Amino acid sequence: MSFYAQRAEGQFEMVGEPFGKVRIGAATLKANTELNEALDAAFQEMIDNGTYQAILADWGVESNDITLGE
């Protein structure tokens, strides 16, 4: 929601603190180990080089960081 509030030119207002997290991921066939490993490597690279954090910050959803514990 914070992304929409930031870009809505005053039409939305955030009230209170965000709660809960939305966990998302990519679904693949379990047997497709090549794709699974490629996705894991790509996501790890995004974490390591700061791209993942930059995306979260751009969208205003840092609290949904799935690399942090619950």
Check residue 21 and give its pLDDT: 67
Residue type, 22: V
- Give the DSSP letter of residue 66: T
Please state the pTM of the whole predicted model. Answer: 0.67
Query: Phi and psi at residue 28, in whole multiples of 5°?
Result: -140, 165
Q: What is the pLDDT along the chain (70 residues), one digit of tens a residue?
A: 667 777 777 787 777 776 776 677 788 999 999 999 999 999 999 999 999 999 999 888 888 888 887 6
Integer Cα distance of 67 and 21 in angstroms? 12
Q: Give the chain's length.
A: 70
